[in-house]
Amino acid sequence: MSIDAQVLSAHQAWLEYRTWDRSKVVALLEAIADSLDGAKAELVPVAMAETNLPEPRLTGEVGRTTGQLRLMCAAVKDPSYLDITIDSADSTLTPPRPDLRMKTLPLGVVAVFGASNFPFAFGVAGGDTASALAAGCAVVIKVNPGHPEVSRLVAAKMIAAAKSVGAPDGLISIVEGVAEGMQLVKHPLVSAVAFTGSTHGGRALFDAVNQREVPVPFYGELGGLNPMFVTKAAATANAKAIAEGFVGSITMGAGQFCTKPGFLVVENADAIAAETQAFVFGAPGQKLLNPQIRERHDSIRQEMSSVPGMTLVAQNMHGEDTAVSVFRISAKDFLFHRKQAQREVFGPTAVIIDCASTAEYMEVAHSFTGTLASGIHGVENDSTIPTGLLSLLEQISGRIVWNQWPTGLAVTWAMQHGGPYPASTNSLFTSVGAKALLRFRRPVTYQNFPQELLAAELRDGSAELKSARVNGK
Amino acid sequence: MSIDAQVLSAHQAWLEYRTWDRSKVVALLEAIADSLDGAKAELVPVAMAETNLPEPRLTGEVGRTTGQLRLMCAAVKDPSYLDITIDSADSTLTPPRPDLRMKTLPLGVVAVFGASNFPFAFGVAGGDTASALAAGCAVVIKVNPGHPEVSRLVAAKMIAAAKSVGAPDGLISIVEGVAEGMQLVKHPLVSAVAFTGSTHGGRALFDAVNQREVPVPFYGELGGLNPMFVTKAAATANAKAIAEGFVGSITMGAGQFCTKPGFLVVENADAIAAETQAFVFGAPGQKLLNPQIRERHDSIRQEMSSVPGMTLVAQNMHGEDTAVSVFRISAKDFLFHRKQAQREVFGPTAVIIDCASTAEYMEVAHSFTGTLASGIHGVENDSTIPTGLLSLLEQISGRIVWNQWPTGLAVTWAMQHGGPYPASTNSLFTSVGAKALLRFRRPVTYQNFPQELLAAELRDGSAELKSARVNGK
């Protein structure tokens, strides 16, 4: 089927799906979750062969994926995403106020671009697909070329599950190929795009979407440098624990997480650097997703190592596997060579920035821009947090972590996964957690409508109205 | 001061303003509202001289403007815009869940572009400015060239009022000139842009913003065709009242409202067209905002009148004033010449589309794209509403009106002013009403934070937490 025919079919399916009761949407999401949970044994080996990721991780990731689908069920059962808001008619006002009833409606067909690093959780049945379906949208999913087989398999399970609850044909489908992806985001019947991947690829799609005759929302989650700041007190008191946590975090998923802390900023890094060595040497071998990603990692690591002033703290070697590498650079050199030094490395490589003074430390902090996460490691009632550091992190981050590490994302109501550009192309929304579905709905106000023409949830006395804002209250 | 210095000063002011308590923000908005209310007698004559708008309308518009500022006070007093969401730590989960506390934060410096048609309500102290300040942002406002004097005067009042409550210098400022406006939206320290104006001008700014190295949200409110659909039953039963309402609505503000119903779609339009004549002849003279706008209106009206099949229903003449013009075209001709016929005319000109069948009527309905508003005129329990019409209007509109007219916008909690492109560049938000401030805030999650480092409203036991979502409830 051509991309055009496929999007047309998705749009037709959407015209029916948009009228579904919320309970039917929940049934659809549950059917997909059940189907994937039941197919773990079939799915995991295919993903293992395509991604080099180990079995426990992939098995856990299927669970996370179906957990996301089930969290979306909870989000759809809760009427808050409808944002129901009522203002009653009031003829005593000047001008008289008509009856106004607002709720959100789904956008239409959503194009989803799956990521390489989470074949399930950010793949064809991942968070973007789950939240788009939950929002009442149809999805056309561009398969990540890193794991086409498991993507096709997951898609087949989803489509069968959707069929089993009576979903219209075309509601869920996949496309493959770079040119096909570009054709998809330019299609007039695509109403929104959700993307997880590289800044380079994301920006190209973002630009294409904005050049459409009719631009549509583009939700790109492009990664982050996720700098972590260690206070003077913590650098002394907790050097070993911080070194251990740091190495653990940068090797999680072989360093291929968008929340990997790429930089550890420390005022006098000697103690932490010394402790880091042992943990790097003790770290297991790292297998990157595929040869292309490994090649790119190795080449950027090589470039990083050539930045003037960059020295190796530690690097382990495990035969054919990719080494864990921690570099160290002085704040002065880092700031002077910022263009080469301040970049994301997709893989188990990170940098300790050693500051000779609090002034340098804050100058380094000021050099960072939009990031998914950032954080501070301190001690209790820490008096050594530089003034303005937290305020600065608030200005650049979607999430700020205290005495923990940014990897290992909780999928909850209070999660914000998305920060100022280049972390995301739209930092007003999250791509993870219950609120992710808000990206795919927009408000519509019904003015002076008779009860019988209103959707059931907007009628006087509906259950949903109980938790709604009525006349500003 | 250069644009660069001005934005820098706004950013510096914002760094202080973002730490203000909500009560101080409310005091600022109230001080501005009080100042403008007290200056009506000074402001209105200046606006009259620059815009041709009559005194009662402008006096009322100052009231609407200060009403918007006061609604923003209510929106800031209500903690819902903070979107506080908490998930407690839970070590029994796999992986263990950390304490997560989310709230929204202001974006930074907002560039506001004032509109020509509402010198106050969408001017320098208009809805975009009010909502950006309420959101905790600094504003740099590009003055509309149609009314520079009153804009400067309003800005001076605002700046003085802000100073009186201790606001930092630079929090509110204005710029003038097209090149200066373009420089403003490209400035790295501008964090969002709000625009009300033409599709042409808005798209140029939208494109410039998206070509920035760091793109930022662009909220463009670009207008609409706002088609109104009359059912068969209503066309017979209420021809006179509909004709009266239609002419009243297209002459409100001399037809220079973005919610003007540009098209009235009727199945058999004879009765309504006949009734329309008398109301057009009885309409008062129309004074457009300025000679440029008048010239453009006259030229587009001329082009509309030349569309094959377009006939004049009625046109009044009032000496030097602009005529009210209602045209009529068959659905067949409209659809065939859609490119020339389906356009927005800024001024008191509108078109009745006469459909020979329900099939034609629905074909015309399908030809419309994104619009701020649309509507249906019907009778009680109307059995003549074509199947699918309401669903179609939901897909293209921000607001749908029943048996009323889209002009005369209520500024409330339940108002949605913003629809799919080209009505708006971001239809997920409204530019009018209490929720307009949500455009200028983004969520940040604090993970595992000690109480003393959290903002007061996120701490255990805060007043704001009472209405917040905690652990999904």
Q: Does A5 touch chain B (CB under 8 A)?
A: no
Q: Are A162 and A31 in contact (CB under 8 A)?
A: yes
> Which residue of chain A is at minimal alpha-carbon distance from B99?
A414
Chain mean pLDDT for chain B:
96
pLDDT tens-place string over residues B425-459: 999 999 999 999 999 999 999 999 999 999 999 99
> Is the whole model's pTM more than 0.95, yes or no?
yes
Partners of B412 on chain A (C-beta within 8 Å) are 87, 97, 100, 472
What is the three-class DSSP state of B436? helix
What value does the CA radius of gyration of chain B take, rounded to a whole number of Å? Answer: 24
Q: Does A379 touch chain B (CB under 8 A)?
A: no
> Which residue of chain A is at minimal alpha-carbon distance from B208?
A210
Q: A416 vs B102: CB contact, 8 Å cut-off?
A: yes
Active site residue B267: no
pLDDT tens-place string over residues B227-272: 999 999 999 999 999 999 999 999 999 999 999 999 999 999 999 9
| pLDDT at B332 exceeding the cut of 80 | yes
Cα gap B157→B34, rounded to integer Å? 10
- Taking phi over 0 as left and psi of -120 to 50 as alpha, with beta for the rest, B134 belongs to alpha
Q: Mean pLDDT of residues grouped by 10 in chain A (473 residues)?
A: 96 98 98 98 97 95 97 97 97 90 98 95 97 98 97 98 98 97 97 94 96 97 95 97 98 95 97 97 93 95 97 91 96 97 96 98 98 97 96 98 95 96 97 97 98 96 94 92
User: What pLDDT score does A260 carry?
Assistant: 97
Q: Does A467 touch chain B (CB under 8 A)?
A: no
Q: Does B86 touch chain A (CB under 8 A)?
A: yes
Query: Residue B11 — very low, low, confident or very high, per pLDDT cuts 50/70/90?
Result: very high
pLDDT tens-place string over residues A364-382: 999 999 999 999 999 999 9
Span between the terminal Cα atoms of chain A, in Å: 51
Interface contacts (A, B; CB < 8 Å): 188
What is the three-class DSSP state of A9? helix
Which of A94, A430, A437, A442 should we substitute to test contact with B (largest number of B Cβ atoms within 10 Å)?
A442
Mean pLDDT of B349-368: 98
Please give the share of chain B, as a percent, with pLDDT higher than 70.
100
Q: Does B11 touch chain A (CB under 8 A)?
A: no
Mean pLDDT of B175-183: 96
Of A98, A216, A421, the CB nearest to B410: A98
Query: Residue B1 — very low, low, confident or very high, per pLDDT cuts 50/70/90?
Result: confident
Q: B447 vs A404: CB contact, 8 Å cut-off?
A: yes
**Dihedral sign of CA atoms A271, A274, A277, A278 in order:** negative
What is the three-class DSSP state of B142? strand
The A371-377 sheet, strands edge to edge: A311-315, A325-330, A349-355, A263-267, A228-230, A371-377, A397-402, B441-447, B100-106, B85-87, B469-470
Which of A395, A440, A451, A459 should we substitute to test contact with B (largest number of B Cβ atoms within 10 Å)?
A395
Distance from CA of A425 to the nearest CA of B (A): 7
Partners of A101 on chain B (C-beta within 8 Å) are 414
Of A85, A98, A395, the CB nearest to B404: A98
Q: B414 vs A100: CB contact, 8 Å cut-off?
A: yes
Of A102, A414, A453, the CB nearest to B85: A414
**Dihedral sign of CA atoms B110, A433, B463, A386 in order:** negative
- A223 or B171: whose pLDDT is higher? B171
Cα gap A384→A77, rounded to integer Å? 46
> Which residue of chain A is at minimal alpha-carbon distance from B83?
A414
Query: Residue B173 — very low, low, confident or very high, per pLDDT cuts 50/70/90?
Result: very high
What is the three-class DSSP state of B208? helix
Q: Does A434 touch chain B (CB under 8 A)?
A: yes
User: What pLDDT score does B312 carry?
Assistant: 97
| pLDDT at B317 exceeding the cut of 90 | no
Burial class (CB in 10 A: 0-12, 13-18, 19+), A421: buried
pLDDT tens-place string over residues A157-169: 999 999 999 999 9
Query: Residue B319 — very low, low, confident or very high, per pLDDT cuts 50/70/90?
Result: confident
Which B residues 97-136 touch A at CB under 8 Å?
Answer: 97-98, 100-102, 105, 108
Span between the terminal Cα atoms of chain B, in Å: 51
Q: Are A229 and A376 in contact (CB under 8 A)?
A: yes
Element (H, E) at B374: strand B371-377
Q: A400 vs B446: CB contact, 8 Å cut-off?
A: yes
Pairing of strands A100-106, A85-87: antiparallel
User: What pLDDT score does A318 carry?
Assistant: 78
List, as own/partner pairs, every contact residues A312-320 make where C-beta atoms lie below 8 angstroms and the sequence separation is at least 24, other chains included.
Answer: A313/A273, A313/A276, A313/A277, A313/A280, A313/A352, A314/A276, A314/A277, A314/A280, A314/A281, A315/A280, A316/A280, A316/A281, A316/A282, A316/A283, A316/A285, A318/A284, A318/A285, A318/A286, A319/A285
> Which residue of chain B is at minimal alpha-carbon distance from A416?
B445
> ω into residue A95 within 30 of 0, thus cis?
yes
Q: A87 vs B410: CB contact, 8 Å cut-off?
A: yes
Q: Does A23 touch chain B (CB under 8 A)?
A: no
The B311-315 sheet, strands edge to edge: A469-470, A85-87, A100-106, A441-447, B397-402, B371-377, B228-230, B263-267, B349-355, B325-330, B311-315
Q: A398 vs B444: CB contact, 8 Å cut-off?
A: yes
Find, among A306, A305, A288, the residue nearest to A297 by Cα.
A288
Find, among A405, A335, A324, the residue nearest to A372 by Cα.
A405
> ω into residue B422 within 30 of 0, thus cis?
yes
> Which residue of chain B is at minimal alpha-carbon distance from A448?
B402
